[in-house]
Amino acid sequence: MKTVFEWGAPGRRCTILPALDVEEVLPKAPFRETAPRLPELSETEVSRHYTELAEQVFGVNDGFYPLGSCTMKYNPSVNEEMCSLPGFTGVHPLQEDATVQGCLRVLKTAEEYLCAVTGMDAVTFQPAAGAHGEFTGLLLIKAYHTERKDTKRTKVIVPDSAHGTNPATATMCGYEVINLPSGADGLVDLAALKAAVGEDTAGLMLTNPNTCGLFEKDILEITKIVHEAGGLVYYDGANLNGIIGVARPGDMGFDCVHMNLHKTFSTPHGGGGPGSGPVGCKAFLAKYLPGHAVSGDGELRRTRAEMSLGDMRAFDGNFLVVVRALTYLLMLGREGLPEISKNAVLNANYMMEQLKDVYPMAFDKNVYHEFVITMEKSAKNGGVSAMDIAKTLLDHGMHPPTMYFPLIVHEALMVEPTETESRETLDAVIRVMKEIHEEAVRDPESIKASPKRAPIGRPDEVEAARNPVIRYRF
């Protein structure tokens, strides 16, 4: 497709300003002598340019988008309507509390709901994403140990099935990461955990259900082992789709949790945000929370916690994302929330059951909201790989699942259908995946040559990530 510099012609404009009919008063000196090389386009060209760009994008509104762990789900339009209300978009974060009572009420109500969902006692909305929330959460844990002068706690335990942000976060916080190998069943190995904890344990970071879609059945024992060693337990709640409304991290023994409003709570994401990764914690950690707490029975006020970390970000976080999340929560209510997880779990298990005869599953058991296929055997024997399957799905108008993650499964395809896909969509996807399998058996080379219909085939992804060309070369 043409770039914006290849459209248009010199002098072309969207609006025609009348010629200058007064004296030009701006001095020449501080200004550039040559005009910047901006594209010059007519209104039709601008509008076609953006439409063409939009057509190159694939989103949840285009089709099935089963991005395991990342929950690309339905983003109700009513969310957008609510967060476009001028009362929300027209305020300034430095306004006096008395003049933004409605916005403070949004923050307070959203905090109450998220506490109810997670079993925590307080929430900060400052973090702008999941990884940012993890960083905030671990700083709370660090502040706790520091205040107790328990400074020998220098290690954070992270299972090898964890999202990559977990070890990165622990390292950013100055901790040494202890990698905990999972058992053959994909779960935390209790003996290995007992051997790993000690006087130097600051905490454990855990995702449950984990990134294999499996629920840690020994979760109460796990959190107890860490607590008895003097450490705290962090819950990676980026994706709560597997348990929301049914089980709560707070009841499992976790001290601190982050949630991704741009996953579970239906804010569109991808392409850089904005996101929101609020952090919830138990009461004993609340005094360290960053930013401002909203309190008061009648008139609401913003106050600093007693030993606040300071600010993780300016002001009150990505406020409009919180408006969307609250809209979603209010719409579903207490009765509706369990329907999310029940349907997410049903959809994942339905798809897995229908596919397991043709695609080898990484674990032979029921899952929660996502399941993991492994193409290891096929790839090793010169057959098709996870990448080949993913690229072929593009030709069928579907976004591929998460690939090559979790790291403990080789040639992984991690599928999260989400709760909002219908039986018909799931059946259509199952049919396509079976067809792809048949073709892979009959003519693997054809699958390896995919995609055949996408605008871009197989770019060098490492090169594209490390050396992106983002400037137009005149």
Ligand X SMILES: *Cc1c(COP(=O)(O)O)cnc(C)c1O
Residues in contact with ligand X by CB under 6 A are 69-70, 129-131, 163, 165, 207, 211, 236, 238-239, 260, 275, 277
Q: In what order do the strands lie in the sheet with 371-374?
A: 371-374, 412-415, 402-403
Distance CA 12, CA 79 (A): 38
Nearer to ligand X, 136 or 207 (CB): 207
Tokens at residue 251, please?
């009841």
Task: Compute the least distance from the CB of residue 428 to ligand X, in Å.
Answer: 26
Other beta carbons within 10 Å of 11: 6
DSSP H or E stretch at residue 103? helix 101-118
Least distance between ligand X and beta carbon 461 (Å): 18
Least distance to ligand X, CB of residue 368, Å: 13
Nearest to 117 by CA among 248, 214, 235: 248
- Of the pair 163, 396, the CB lying nearest ligand X is at 163
Between CA 419 and CA 463 the distance in angstroms is 35
Least distance (Å) between residue 131 CB and ligand X: 3
Minimum Å gap between C-beta 273 and ligand X is: 8
Long-range contacts of 219-228 (CB under 8 A, 24+ apart): 219/252, 219/253, 220/252, 220/253, 221/190, 222/188, 222/190, 222/193, 222/253, 223/252, 223/253, 223/254, 224/253, 225/190, 225/193, 225/194, 225/197, 226/157, 226/193, 226/197, 226/201, 227/253
What is the distance between the alpha carbons of residues 375 and 391, in angstroms, rounded to a whole number? 14
Q: Which lies closer to ligand X via its Cβ, residue 213 or residue 231?
A: 213
Tell me if 285 sits within 8 A of 140, measured CB to CB: yes
Output the smallest distance, CB 262 to ligand X, in A.
6
Q: Which residue is nearest to ligand X (CB)?
A: 130
Nearer Cβ to ligand X (134/388): 134
CB of 103 to ligand X, least distance (A): 23
Quick one: how far is CA 465 from the chain centroid? 19
CA 377 to chain centroid: 30
* Cβ at position 139, least distance to ligand X in Å: 16
CB of 58 to ligand X, least distance (A): 19
Which of residues 230 and 290 has its CB atom nearest to ligand X in the complex?
A: 290
Decide whether 263 or 292 has the Cβ nearer to ligand X.
263
CB of 72 or CB of 285, closer to ligand X: 72
Q: Are 371 and 415 in contact (CB under 8 A)?
A: yes
454 to 49, 217, 387, 443, 451: CA distances (angstroms): 19, 42, 15, 20, 6
By beta-carbon proximity to ligand X, the closer residue of 66 and 275 is 275
Nearer to ligand X, 245 or 278 (CB): 278
Q: Smallest gap, in angstroms, from Cβ of residue 197 to ligand X? A: 22
**238 vs 375, beta carbon nearer ligand X:** 238
> Strands (DSSP E) along 181-287, which ranges?
201-206, 232-237, 256-259, 279-281
Which pairing describes strands 371-374 and 412-415: parallel, antiparallel, or unpaired? Answer: antiparallel
Tell me the longest C-alpha to C-alpha distance in the chain: 84
Query: Is 361 in a helix, a strand, or coil?
Result: strand
- Helix or strand or coil: residue 212? coil
